[in-house]
A and B are shown apart, each in its own frame.
Chain A
């Protein structure tokens, strides 16, 4: 069964701290996505990781991809309250299908 495992599912952090969200996937996918969702809002695309060793950074968030280990990480540096949201990783199952396989999401709460 095609599966994407995220952990942790819930994360409560203090402002200023660092943490990493892990995403393990089951296929030989070469494309991994990270999305952010605020309550009641759309899923917002954060990163698209296209190849082994890819690293992308935007502000306090940095995502990486290791296709050999089938692992992606989302690292949060010096968290601030505005980062509180649910973060999803998703792999794009190859071929012409294009459908995304999602993890359950990590609900991040950053407290002052």
Chain B
């Protein structure tokens, strides 16, 4: 079974540009989560999809971040316009349908550098 995949693995952009990160969850997983780790800090929750619906987006830092999950499959996280403080590693995770608290399986992350 394929794991959670993320694309790209690295992205370097200039301040003010737009970047779109993609996450493909494990097939059949209804729950999809985005997290972010800024250098030296904890991994922080951003948002949670159940299928195509946003269940919880309380961790989204501001309206420069837009997440979508088309058809309840893959998800994208767009940052527009990017700021220096957006640099970090963005992780995606998915978990099986059922209780939302099942084990979350993580992707390898996308390392975003904003210059």
Contacts and interface: CB of A to CB of B under 8 A. Distances in A.
Interface in A19-59: 31, 33, 35, 40-45, 48
Interface in B37-66: 41-45, 48, 55-56, 59
Interface range, B side: 20 to 34
Contacts, number: 62
Contact of B43 (A31, A42, A88): A88
Given A31-B101, A40-B108, A45-B103, A4 B48 contact: no
A35 B42 CA distance: 13
B109 to A, nearest CB: 7
Interface residues of A, number: 25
Contact of A42 (B59, B100, B107): B107
B106 interface: yes
Nearest to A103: B42
Given A33-B103, A40-B108, A45-B103, A99 B56 contact: yes
A101 interface: yes
B33 interface: yes
B31 A42 contact: no
A81 B100 CA distance: 35
A56 to B, nearest CB: 13
Nearest to B5: A42
Interface string B97-115: 0001101111111000000
B106 A43 contact: yes
Given A88-B43, A103-B42, A104-B42, A45 B105 contact: yes
Interface in A43-97: 43-45, 48, 88, 90, 92, 94, 96-97
9 contacts: A33-B104, A41-B108, A42-B4, A42-B107, A88-B43, A90-B43, A98-B48, A100-B104, A101-B45
Q: Which 10 residue pairs of A and B lie closest in terms of their CB atoms, listed nearest first?
A: A98-B100, A99-B45, A43-B106, A102-B43, A42-B106, A42-B108, A102-B42, A92-B101, A104-B42, A98-B101
